[in-house]
Each structure stands twice: as structure tokens, then as C-alpha cells.
Amino acid sequence: MGHPVDGILLVDKAEGEISFDVIRRIRQVLPGQKIGHAGTLDPLATGLLIILLGQGTKLSQWIMSNKKVYEGMLRLGIETDTLDSTGKITAENPVPALTSDDLEKACRMLLGEIEQRPPRYSAVKVKGQRAYRLARKGASFDLPKRRVFVESLEVLSADFPFVTLRVRCSAGTYVRSLFADLGKSLGTGAHLTALRRKASGPFLVENALASGTLAGDCDPAVLEREVIPLHKALPGMAEVKVDGSLAQRIRQGYQPAWNELQDGFSMENGVSGYVKITSKNELIAVASVYEEKTQGIKSKLVRVFH
């Protein structure tokens, strides 16, 4: 591979790997390539990991903010310090004969905007240090609760004490914490035993490359064919197409006014958010668009791609 690759790559992470394992393998195939990822997965978890390549790393804030879909299994009656099956057991409780109504009622209590506390064994920083490192040292600390949004929590199957669920939630939601709270709601306690990320925004794990295929003998050309180019990496974002002349000026540092961008772009009930600026199947920039009461619609470039 003689040139940098820009875009995103969908990878299906295997159980037992950390997210950086996947990055390390890709670096072996594409040496010197700038690489990041949009949302880590715990070693226990499998599924969709979005890898950011080259200028694709500039897309992190938008891709990470996508809603997520997970399928996971919890084990009722046993609580652990990590909230999953890798931790030490901290409590054991009997599991009564629960009905489907019991499960669905408990799930409904966790829908919508809720407050949840991240797991002590997580990558959240506490005074500059990762929480899981402090937890391993036995340090005493509390992580503040955060607001997240759970759009749906559906029971797929129940073979007590195991329950399998599908979760659709906002970015930043900890499924381990969600399942632990569900166990508390049922009065049994619970911990996560398996988790798979099925989707992130419009991107599906079914379209991902298995992480096991990423090895040093992987053909770089084969890997490059799987890369989603920059202009297709934000499919849910509104688009403004510009001609080559304006595209070049933007790349040279020019800040276009909204009236230079709005041709062919329709708005209803005002506008607030982001638009991607493209030209001839190339992503030129992402702009923030907002409406001011006295000055009308304004735009400001947030990221420029060269």
C-alpha cells in the first residue's frame, strides 16, 4: 500500500480481543497508516467496531454519537464486581419463578432518559486515571451518574436464570450497568454473560469484516476494497454539493457563508446541526449550521478534508 487510506472500516471483533488488538493487526497490513476507532468494546463483547483510517479519524465525534444496538445475555441471581462474568462474585440471590410480564415490566422501567452509573471497571477517567486501574488497586471512589437514553429493551428469550435481550440506546450507555439495574429491579441481581454490538447508526455488523481475517499476510488491496470512503461515512447527515472551484477555496481555508451553500438544500422549521459539504464524490468539509434570530442562518466549518 503506497498511499494513505482515508475512510472507515467495519470490523466484527471477536471475543477475548481488546479494541487495540484490531488496530494493531491493521497496522501490520497498512504500516504507517493513521488509525483510530469509534467506540471501544470490552474483551468479553463481540461485534461491530468501526475503525477510522487516515482523515476518517476526523469523523470520530459524529460516528461515536450514533445510536447503538446490542444483543446480550444476563444471568439473574449473581452479581459481580465488574458487572459481567469476568469479575468476582459479590452477591448471590435466589431466582423466583418469573413471568414474561415480570420481565417486560422491569424492562419498561428502564426505557427513555435514565440516569446510570458507569461500572467501576470501565475506561472512565477519575482525576486523570482510568477507573478500572483504580478499581484493581482497591481504591475507593464513586463515578458520577450520567444521563443516557434507552429507546427499546426487548426480551428475546428467557431460560432462567438466563435472559437474552436486545437493546437500542444512545451513545455512552453501559449495557453492563443497564443489565445490573434490570437485575435489581427484578429483585435478584444480575450480571452480563455475553454481549454483541449489532449496529452503530446505519452501520451493521452483517457488513463487517471478521477480525480474524486481519493478519500480517492479509492483502492490503483486499482490505482497501472494504473501506467506506469519507463521502459515504456520514450517510445520515444532510449534504450540500458544491462545485470544484468552491471546494478548492474551502480546502484552502475559505469560510463560505450559508447563502453560498444553500442552493438545492431544503430546510423546514429552521435548521440546527451539521451538514457535509461534498464535491464530485469527495468529502470537502463538515459545517455547523445554526439559526440566529437577528442574522438568519449561519454556517461555520468544523472539519476540512484534504
Q: 6, 42, 84, 181: which one is catalytic?
A: 42
Residue entry with cell 471475543: 15
Instruction: Identify the burial level of 100 via C-beta atoms within 10 angstroms of its C-beta, where 0-12 means exposed, 13-18 middle and 19 or more buried.
Output: exposed
DSSP assignment of 38-77: SS---TT-EEEEEEEEGGGGGGHHHHHTS-EEEEEEEEET
Residue 233, φ and ψ in degrees, nearest 5: -85, -10
Per the CB < 8 A criterion, the answer to whether 183 and 107 are in contact is no
Q: Is 138 left (phi over 0), alpha (psi -120 to 50) or beta?
A: left
Give the chain's length: 306
Say whether 101 is catalytic.
no
Residues annotated as part of the active site: 42
